[in-house]
Chain A
Amino acid sequence: MNAAAAALAERAAAPASVNAAARARAIGAEIAARHADAVDRDGRFPTEAFDALREQGLLGVMVPADLGGAGASLFDVAAACHALARGCAATGMIYAMHQIQVACLVNHGTNDWHRALMARLAAEQLLLGSATTEKETGGDIRNSVCAVHADGGRFTLAKNASVISYGDQSDVILVTARRNPDAPSSDQALVVVTKDDYRLEKTSLWDAMGMRGTCSDGYRLEAAGVIDQILPLPYADLSAQTMLPVTHILWSSTWLGIAADAVSRARAFVRSEAKRKPGTTPASAVRLAEATAKLQQMKAVILAAIRQYELASGSPEQLTGLSFATAMSTLKVTTSELVREVVEAAIRTCGLAGYRNDTPYSLGRHLRDAHSAALMIGNDRIMSHVATQLLVQRDGLGPFE
């Protein structure tokens, strides 16, 4: 029995209950939070948190049980992203990006090659990254210049990836490319390549305002593999059914974690003020109430989106329908604006104690991290796409539509 099979057998003998969110919460509070300032200051990968996530088996938690995972639901994983991001936004975001790729593999990887990789993912706790943006197309991830070059049962692929977040730490990368050299730019496939299949050459370094620990460097990627590594469903369908909804739900959950920690700090500040002057409610507590209301609003739209996803799951018709696409697109726009508003209200609550970088109420990192939200797949791009879709959209037929 090799190491992977042994680990798989051991895991199969473990209790079925996973409670991913509770374990992620402990890692977020005890490990990610402790290193968050260093990760942010040095723009480095949150190694300590990911060592702990691996140790707890949380990287492979969404892999189906028959392949050695825990078959965790999207709700569980969203709660885990939130819990990690409360301690360190970059940790939550990397975990989210990893699980988005896992979801694509779990939902659409049906052949033996993909199933073997999922078993390895669960046994070895592999970290999955993605190469969707391209130097030539920028943020327009629904068009590719690079193409899959097939020859017999094998393929080669070369991509100028303007961003591969945590590329240095990834064990597997999912790459978008045109299906073949003659395909139009919008006819894409998603190709799964492992560290043994690709070579990365770094072309740019990530030095940004916030989310500094995601290490979103640029690379030139060159890969070769067998045809079975290519996910069979066209990327446009795969994106509509899994990539887009899961991305927006997990990103939003991560941002909710940033917002929740900002509100916690603001609440602690108001409480300490109230203790200093018993019998009076500090004036800035009104801002705390405002932040709390927006936090609740954010939570509500995320939970509604998870429910909508669950209801549509298993129905490609509903998942590729326009009203579902609009719901999942606007989710991202709404939460990405709200996270910044919540953090700003928390700063107003804490006043200079929140503005300074050396107090328990400091919110500078939260604000810088929150500003990335509206820019990751720019809100203006999304809203212009939604506006086009609305030209033909009809009232939905499901509950609450």
Chain B
Amino acid sequence: MVAGIRSVLAECGGLAVDAGTLAIDDDLYSAGLTSHGCVGLMLGLEEQFDVEFPEKLLNRRTFESIAAIRDAVRGLVDGGEA
């Protein structure tokens, strides 16, 4: 799943750095993720993992690191709301 998240980040996140070089706990906002970038990232994640982010997950914390995204997506894949 982390590899999938990295590839979506690289494609849709508009980061200032190579997504492959980020540790899973690195702050993505420090890596250049913007609110505009979040929108592209979220659409990309929904497509990649066939999930839909509910309203309560639509905030900055959900996308602050690869680990945070992984936890959120895993919760959605498992049918819960993370």
B35-75 interface with A by 8 A CB criterion: 35-36, 39, 42-43, 53-56, 58-61
Determine if B53 and A321 form an interchain contact, defined as CB atoms under 8 angstroms apart.
no
Tell whether A388 pairs with B32 under 8 Å between CB atoms, given A320-B59, A397-B55.
no
From A184, A320, A396, B55 is in contact (CB under 8 Å) with: A396
Specify which chain B residues have a CB less than 8 angstroms from the CB of A395 in the assembled complex: 55
Known: A183-B30, A184-B31, A320-B61. A391 touches B39 (CB 8 A): yes
Which A residues, 355 to 401, have Cβ-Cβ distances below 8 Å to chain B?
A: 385, 388-389, 391-397
- Taking a contact as CB atoms under 8 Å apart, the answer to whether B29 and A394 are in contact is no
Q: Tell me how far the C-beta of A292 lies from the nearest C-beta in chain B, rounded to whole angstroms.
A: 37
SS class, residues of chain B in contact with chain A: loop
Please name the residue on chain B nearest to A384 by beta carbon: B36
Q: Is the CB of B39 within 8 A of A236?
A: no
Question: What is the chain A residue whose CB lies nearest that of B52?
Answer: A394
Interface string of B10-49 (1 = CB under 8 A from A): 0000001000000000000111111110010011000000
Give the residues from 185 to 213 in chain A that come closer than 8 angstroms, CB to CB, to chain B. 185-187
B55 / chain A contacts, CB cutoff of 8 Å? 321-323, 393-397
A389–B29 Cα distance when bound, in Å, is: 17
How far, in whole Å, are A142 and B34 apart by their CA atoms in the complex?
A: 9
Please tell me if the beta carbons of B43 and A322 are within 8 angstroms of each other in the complex: no
A186 close to B58 (CB less than 8 A): no
B58 and A392 within 8 A (CB) = yes
For the complex, what is the distance from the CA of A388 to the CA of B56, rounded to whole Å?
18
Q: Is the CB of A317 within 8 A of B16?
A: no
Q: Give which listed residue, B30, B36, B60, contacts A320 with CB less than 8 A.
A: B60
Query: Are A388 and B39 neighbours in the complex by a CB distance under 8 Å?
Result: yes
In the bound complex, how far is the Cα of B53 from the Cα of A317, in angstroms?
15
A183 to B29, CA, bound (A): 9
**CA distance in complex: A21, B33 (Å):** 41
A236 near B30 with CB under 8 A, answer no
What residue of chain A has the Cβ atom nearest to residue B54's Cβ?
Answer: A394
CB-CB nearest in chain B for A240: B60
Q: Which residue of A lies closest to B30 (CB)?
A: A187
CB distance from B21 to the nearest CB of A (A): 14
Question: Are A184 and B58 also in contact (CB < 8 A) when A234-B29, A388-B39 are?
Answer: no
Chain A residues in 8 Å Cβ range of B54: 394
A147-181 vs B, Cβ < 8 Å mask (1 yes, 0 no):
00000000000000000000000000000000100
| A392–B43 CB distance below 8 A | yes
Q: List A residues 319-337 near B (Cβ within 8 Å).
A: 320-323
**By the criterion CB–CB under 8 Å, are A179 and B30 in contact?**
yes
Shortest C-beta distance, A187 to chain B (Å), equals: 5
Is the C-beta of A51 less than 8 angstroms from some C-beta in chain B?
no
Residues on A facing B (Cβ under 8 Å): 142, 179, 183-187, 234, 236-237, 240, 317, 320-323, 385, 388-389, 391-397
Beyond the given A184-B32, A186-B29, A391-B39, please list 8 additional residue pairs across the A-B interface where CB-CB is below 8 A: A142-B34, A184-B31, A185-B32, A236-B35, A322-B58, A323-B58, A391-B43, A394-B58
Q: Can you pick out 17 interface pairs between chain A and chain B where the beta carbons lie within 8 Å of each other?
A: A184-B30, A186-B29, A317-B56, A317-B61, A320-B59, A320-B60, A320-B61, A321-B55, A321-B59, A322-B55, A323-B58, A388-B39, A389-B39, A392-B53, A392-B58, A394-B53, A394-B55
10 shortest interchain CB distances as A-B pairs = A184-B32, A184-B16, A394-B55, A322-B58, A320-B59, A186-B34, A321-B59, A392-B42, A320-B60, A187-B30
